[in-house]
Amino acid sequence: MSLQKTIVTSIQPIFKRAIVLTLAFLTALTVNVCGLAAQATGVKTIAFMAGHQSHGYGSHEHYAGCMILAAALRKAMPGYEVRVFKDGWPEDADAFGGIDALVMYSDGGNGHPVNQHLGQVDALVKDGVGVACMHYAVEVPKGDSGTKFLDWIGGYFETGWSVNPHWTAKYEKFPKHPITRGVLPFEIYDEWYYHMRFRKDMAHVTPILSAIPPQATLARPDGARSGNPHVRASVAKGEVQHMAWASENESGSRGFGFTGGHFHWNWGDPNFRKLVLNAIVWVAQGEVPKSGVEDPAVTLEQLEKNQDYNVPDNFNREAIRERLKLPGTKKAPGVPTSSVKPVFQSDVITSKTEAHYGNQAEPMSNIVIRRLAGRNHPRNFLSFQIQVDA
């Protein structure tokens, strides 16, 4: 008995230590597995900064455009957290806490919301946060803001150097890059800025959308955004211009600039939209799917939501739908779409129309419905016109 007690007493400390070591190992393993799982699923947090209302219905619809892109990311990229901040810079100082990418879609120039927050964004970029800017949000004043944009996204719209014409750009070839995955050649009319101010020698900048603008894009006289000797010389030489680009930065962060997005309806174009969605995932250091970010076709009805202005009386919805080949609203299941004519068509049946069914009189409409129930009639085989009294 004494020997047994001695053995048990000597084993207990060893057993306790083994339990402690095992628990410590399991805890470390759990933390590591959770971290790997998060990395494997590519969980990211995206923040959209949508600017104030601007140009009128259907143009510079910053919030509505951000909502289209945010909805697509939520559906296509499970686990992504997407925040959309409306009407400019959020008042909450912690709004951008823990984000992986900041997307800015707003008016720019001297009124760009970021001009008053350069230090805040620079700290985010140095911490590895990616930045994407769309349309007017790529324009900032030369100087402090311009220098930061060169650091953050590799280029920007510089007045007196860049131009902002409306024209149809045709994109036929793309570089091999995660942002172009699944993107097919497309052409679209927009306010495509070009002749951007890039880093010297395009250091660590990859052109994504490039084309040669026609001379007609410089038909306006020289001005801050309409023309200048530098851009005229470039176009005269037939030099390729870049309307979207990606940058890799010294801090390890990534940037993206996109000059399209004046016309809100263009978000209905699948390739236009996919390229930007891919870019947002890429700047967040996420894994862009092999076929690009997939999302369902966008309808005109979806594009009409969340806009800053009321619909004008002269708005031609069908012209927009036709130009962008937007899908119509889905019809209810089972509604015939064939043009086949029925072999029989009844007179109009109302609730007062009676017929005998067996030994009992009842409304004709009930008889029709009952006789058709359970039968597999081909669509459009019979056609009954039934009037339902209010």
Residue 301, CA distances (Å) to 107, 297, 306, 321, 326 in order: 25, 11, 11, 10, 10
Distance CA 26, CA 155 (A): 48
Domain match, 201 and 165 both: yes
Residue 190 belongs to what domain range?
44-323
Query: 71-85, 252-266, 346-360: which range is least confident on average?
Result: 346-360
Q: Is residue 298 pLDDT above 70, yes or no? A: yes
The string over 219-253, giving b where at least 16 C-beta atoms fall within 10 Å of a residue's C-beta and e elsewhere, is: eeeeeebebbeebeebbeeeeebbbbbbbebeeeb
Domain match, 313 and 358 both: no
Tokens, residue 203: 């250091």
Q: Is residue 357 pLDDT above 80, yes or no? A: no
Q: Is residue 350 pLDDT above 80, yes or no? A: no
Residue 177 confidence (pLDDT): 98
Residue 379 confidence (pLDDT): 37
Domain match, 205 and 250 both: yes
Average pLDDT for the chain: 82
Give the three-state DSSP class for 316.
coil
Domain match, 60 and 167 both: yes
Residue 269 confidence (pLDDT): 97
User: Closest by alpha carbon to 330, among 301, 295, 303?
Assistant: 301
Average pLDDT for 123-143: 98
Give tens-digit pLDDT for 198-251.
999 999 999 999 999 999 999 999 999 999 999 999 999 999 999 999 999 999
The answer to the question of residue 267 being in a domain is: yes
* pTM of the predicted structure, to 2 decimals: 0.75
CB 259 within 8 A of CB 272: no
Domain match, 106 and 228 both: yes
Domain match, 70 and 118 both: yes
Domain count, the chain: 2
Q: Is residue 176 pLDDT above 90, yes or no? A: yes
Highest mean pLDDT among 35-49, 156-170, 349-363: 156-170
Q: Is residue 358 pLDDT above 90, yes or no? A: no
Distance CA 297, CA 271 (A): 11
Give the three-state DSSP class for 359.
coil
Q: Is residue 267 pLDDT above 60, yes or no? A: yes
pLDDT band at 327 (very low <50, low <70, confident <90, very high): confident
Distance CA 15, CA 255 (A): 55
pLDDT band at 330 (very low <50, low <70, confident <90, very high): low
Distance CA 144, CA 100 (A): 24
Whether the CA torsion 272, 273, 276, 278 is positive or negative: it is negative
Residue 93 confidence (pLDDT): 85
- Higher per-residue pLDDT: 62 or 30: 62
Give tens-digit pLDDT for 115-131.
999 999 999 999 999 99
Domain match, 245 and 375 both: no
Residue 384, CA distances (Å) to 64, 209, 323, 343, 366 in order: 44, 56, 38, 11, 12
Q: What percent of the chain has a predicted confidence (pLDDT) above 70?
A: 73
- Higher per-residue pLDDT: 87 or 341: 87
The answer to the question of residue 330 being in a domain is: no
- The residues near 260 (Cβ < 8 Å, ≥ 6 apart) are 134, 135, 169, 188, 190, 191, 192, 209, 243, 244, 266, 272
Instruction: For residue 68, give the CATH number of its domain.
Output: 3.40.50.880
Give tens-digit pLDDT for 44-54.
999 999 999 98
Domain match, 260 and 377 both: no
Domain match, 160 and 111 both: yes
Domain match, 228 and 313 both: yes
Residue 125 confidence (pLDDT): 98
Residue 56 confidence (pLDDT): 87
Average pLDDT for 144-166: 98
The answer to the question of residue 332 being in a domain is: no
Alpha helices, DSSP H only, in the chain?
A: 2-41, 62-76, 118-126, 144-152, 229-236, 270-283, 300-303, 317-323, 364-372
